[in-house]
Structure 1
Amino acid sequence: MKLIQLPTQAFEQRLKQELEENPALESGKAESESLDEDYGEVYDESSDNESIAADEINIDDYLSDDETPDYRTQISNYSADDDDKKVPYAAGISFNQYLINQLNTINLDDEERAIAEFLVGSVDESGYIRRPLSDIVDDLAFTQNIYVDEEKVKKVLKTVQELDPPGIGARSLDECLIIQLKRKPSSPSIDLAIAILEKSFDHFTKKHYDKLLQKHHISEEELKAAIGEIEKLNPKPGGAYSGNNRIVEHIVPDFSIRIVDGELELSLNGRNAPELHVSKEYTNMLEGYKNAKEKSKDQKDTVLFIKQKLDAAKWFIDAIKQRQQTLYMTMKAIMDYQKEYFLTGDERKLKPMILKDIADRINMDVSTVSRVANSKYVDTPYGTKLIKDYFSEAMKNEQGEDVSTKEIKKILETVIRDEDKKKPLTDDSLAKILKEKGYPIARRTVAKYREQMDIPVARLRKKI
């Protein structure tokens, strides 16, 4: 179950770990050499309590008779194109180190540098310093033996805020945006944008455009130009450094769906189908033990160790085989269930589908389907998607038919996208429109769907 839950990259790491820890397990093609059947009788001292009974191990169980491991043939439908691709692991220096490296180019005395490094260490993943300067002053005294006042820290903070990316080290959203604007060449729209953020940030966030026009004595066109400059800014300057690293980890799709001659074709990423076999050296060691005339206690202990490693290798290969079969079977059931969508890409064709629908089809537990859906991605002609995104609950339309909540969300998204942004539609108005389209849902349900799609309320969607 743990192997099933792992996405492709994590699975490859787990595979690497097992290969390192178990010397009886090797990757790559095994030599085409079958074993004699009498390997099952390596242990012939069953009368000895310290020895291992002959029927406890059968080497034939651990090796296939040809170059292709037997579990690999169970699922032949995997994508060979992916076999040679390198794993796009996340890499790069940490975000913190990236900022520290920039400090090295700035002329600071020892005390200023210590304060600057402490401030950099206080920057969160979004790029902000959320702690009050008074707390930082106290921490500098207690942990660094640096006794300074807030003014000194504020002065060094200005230096930290000159680092890249622009906006780093801000203590609030308005300060973050202002820092970025002040890095740009001065122009009427830039200057106005700074004035709005410095003097009317509350009116700006609440989209009280009439008050902004009045307070700053400007035209709608001037306001529109200033807002346009603000909208180009990054409210989370540290956000590009996902997980505090400069390089974001790539997604490796676990499945691929293609349309071939009007039919859907599913393949499992080839990186989920490794070639594993038991070490030939280990079987040779067993053969040596079998042929030895006298068997010492050390040899018996060695054979017991070999047996444990062979058992672990056999278990791991079987677990991978089961993982492949479960992944493929689950995704195939999902693809067949949502066939109309995968053939067209039209999200309105997504049928209501819950975990139990798929679990019943493949006679597996709901938790197993959940493990596949929550952590796996599928590459489709319409983009790479998380599998759990294809699941949704059902609602009745006016005809009494079950429709997917995703279908309703898609229509809601389209209606909001096409609304008059000078007079955005309220949730009541959206509910009425959906009812006219044959989806009788309550206003509170519209609000819930809107929030799930990260669409703000009507007032905050207003534009001039």
Structure 2
Amino acid sequence: MALKQSLQLKQQQKLSPLQMQVIKLTELPVIELEERIKQELEDNPALEEGLEATDDTSDFDDEYNSEDDGNISQEDLTLGDYMNEEEIPDYQLRDSNRQASGKQEEIPFSVAASLHEYLIEQLGECELEKNDEKVAEYIIGNIDENGYLDRSLSAISDDLIFQQNLDISVSKLEEILKIIQDFEPAGIGARNLQECLLLQLTRKEKSDNTELAIKIIADYFEEFSKRHYDKIIRQLDIDETGLKGAIQEITTLNPKPGNNWGDSMSITLSTIIPDFIVETYNGELLLSMNNRNIPDLKVSREYSDLLKGYADNKESMSADSKNAVLFVKQKLDSARWFIDAIKQRQDTLQRTMQAIMDMQYDFFLTGDEAQLKPMILKDVAQRTGYDISTISRVSNSKYVQTSFGIYPLKYFFSESMQTDTGEEISSREVKAILKECIEHEDKKKPLTDDRLSEILKEKGYIIARRTVAKYREQMNLPVARLRKEI
């Protein structure tokens, strides 16, 4: 087959480094942005804190890059040439999803032991043979963050044969697991919810309610989980008062005993720091960004002067000097891109939040959920001129502080619905009515989805049963059968 050359013309869409920076930074909430800036300041010596001084190096850059004297040309200083594997800018290599700390005050991270470390520490207090201790450590390693053993003992037995050359029977594993299940917290090492509850109940102080609770969980767990209380009362020959006492004992148990040992990062990430602040003043709304811990950034004057010094000696530049120029140029470009990206992020967030505030003006003024208007991403995109994907990034993981509480931006987005009179309303208003109906229902005879649909129709909202079920699930409300109480 003969070799041949050919030309091909095609269009490709590529993101510039600045665009990539803006996209990544836009997604970050303010607390993660603070950490991202802090990390960039550590990694890039050409980036400094402080107000930006007048930059007179741009003319120099144009002159430096436009001249072709055989040493360094424009091609030498393009992004692709100096972005080798070791010098790729940090924004392309580093995951930016880190937790932030304030500029002057660090967020204290927990240094407490993890769940596995806590269990291993308790294991050290047991007098086990060497092989049994290895097996116990392996079992502990298979306990998930909720405190459950997420693998079967037969599978663990197979793993021990192949990975550690230990032939341990399932019955022996059961004995070692029983030892681990005596550790704190109560319920640890359970293989399912039923076993977890039983482990906790057996540690409780003996009483009539505790004994009855153990019998219910051990022998009537399916009926209990489905809330078939009448069946339990008949089969155990007890009254409602006795059943209530047993259920009260059960509800005090922890279905996820390992949750108290959540890692420090997860705990910190659960802290909500608002990105926007909306205040009312004389009947008007004032919007501000929560930038109190975000420092001003500038390009290092020292690095700019250093690059200018290299340019003044281009004629006698050695290979090492060329590499130095490439390094300095890269760091300066990365610093400028980062500063511009921060500015664009702030402008994008400001305009987007202003559009949301304008569209939901009555809610921000009164705090009345009924004042929320139907609003989707497309509506905000049309007002701001941004793409829908940009609005989605802005609204993701961002919060706004109002006089009535802190809300996620996604809270203000809802579908449009119509009443029987043709009036356009927000689906959130329907959800509020559903929630109110369920909160005030007779818990002995909770309202079914069909009945809730009928109630909404009586109020003028034409909602199908399937839609009622969808809204109920979105509000994390169980079906009528699971809401039943005695």
Q: How much does 1:52 deviate? A: 5.5
| Of 162, 183, 191, the match for 2:203 | 183
- Tell me, yes or no, if the aligned pair for 1:125 and 1:244 is still in contact at 8 Å: no
Code of the residue aligned with 2:304 in structure 1: it is T
Report SS of the residue matched to 2:245: helix
| Paired position in structure 2 for 1:418 | 440
For structure 2, which runs of at least 5 residues remain unmatched after alignment? 1-22, 79-101
Matching residue within 226, 248, 251 for 1:231: 251
CA separation of 1:184/1:380 partners in 2, compared to 1, >3 Å: closer, same or farther? farther
CA gap of 1:341–1:241, structure 2 versus 1, over 3 A, is: farther
Greater Cα offset, 433-442 or 101-110: 101-110
Instruction: Give SS of 1:375's match.
Output: coil
Q: How does 1:365-404 map to 2 (within 5 A)?
A: 365-404=387-426
Residue 163 of structure 1, CA deviation: 2.2
Instruction: Quickly say closer, same or farther: Cα 1:50–1:368, change in 2 above 3 A.
Output: same
- 1:308 aligned to which of 330, 334, 348: 330
Residues 377 and 385 in structure 1, CA contact (< 8 A), matched pair in contact too = yes
How far off its partner does 1:17 sit? Answer: 3.5
- For residues 2 and 91 of structure 1, do their structure 2 counterparts lie closer, same or farther at Cα, with a shift above 3 Å needed? farther
Question: In the superposition, relative to structure 1, how do residues 271 and 183 fare at CA in structure 2: closer, same or farther (>3 Å)?
Answer: farther
Question: Mapping of 1:287-366 within 5 angstroms?
Answer: 288-289=309-310, 295-297=316-318, 298-299=320-321, 301-366=323-388
AA aligned to 1:231 is T
1:270 aligns to what? 291
String of CA shifts for 1:101-154, please: whole Å, max 9, x gaps. 232233322222212111111112222113222222222222222222222211
Check if 1:116 corresponds to 2:136.
yes
Q: What residue number does 1:164 align with?
A: 184
How far apart are residue 309 of structure 1 and its match? Answer: 2.2
- TM-score, normalised by the number of residues in structure 1: 0.86
Contact 2:416–2:424 (8 Å) recurs in 1: yes
Farther-moved stretch of structure 1 (201-210 vs 336-345): 336-345
Which residue among 168, 181, 205 is the counterpart of 2:225? 205
Counterpart of 1:382, as a letter, is F
CA contact (8 A) 2:147 2:187 kept: yes
Deviations 1:226-258, CA, capped at 9 Å, x for gaps: 111111222122234446978453333222223
Structure 1 position 303, deviation (Å): 3.6
Deviation at 1:394, TM superposition (A): 0.8
Separation in 1 of the partners of 2:311 and 2:190?
A: 73
Tell me the residue number matched to 1:145. 165
Q: Give the TM-score of the pair, scaled to structure 2.
A: 0.82
Letter in 1 for 2:416: A
SS at 1:270's partner residue? coil
Give, in angstroms, the shift of residue 5 of structure 1: 1.0
Query: What per-residue deviation string (whole Å, max 9, x for no partner) do you get for residues 405-458 of structure 1?
Result: 111111101100100001111111111111111211111111111122221211
- The letter for the 1-side match of 2:159 is D
Q: Could you tell me how far 1:83 is from its partner in structure 2?
A: 5.8
Change in Cα spacing, 1:393 to 1:14, as seen in structure 2 (3 Å) is same
Task: Report how many aligned residue pairs link the two structures.
Answer: 437
Q: Equivalent residue of 1:384, what SS?
A: strand
- Is it true that 1:96 corresponds to 2:107 in the alignment? no
Give a deviation string over 1:193-242, Cα, whole Å, max 9, x none: 11110111111111111111122221111101111111122212223444
CA contact (8 A) 1:92 1:247 kept: no
From 249, 273, 287, the counterpart of 1:252 = 273
Rounded Cα–Cα distance in structure 2 between residues aligned with 1:91 and 1:256: 32
**What is the DSSP-based 3-state SS (H/G/I as helix, E as strand, rest coil) of the residue aligned with 2:401?**
strand
- Evaluate the alpha carbon distance shift between residue 457 and residue 35 of structure 1 in structure 2; reply closer, same or farther with a 3 A threshold: closer
For structure 1, the residue ranges without an aligned partner over 5 or more in a row are: 58-81
Percent of aligned pairs sharing the same letter? 51
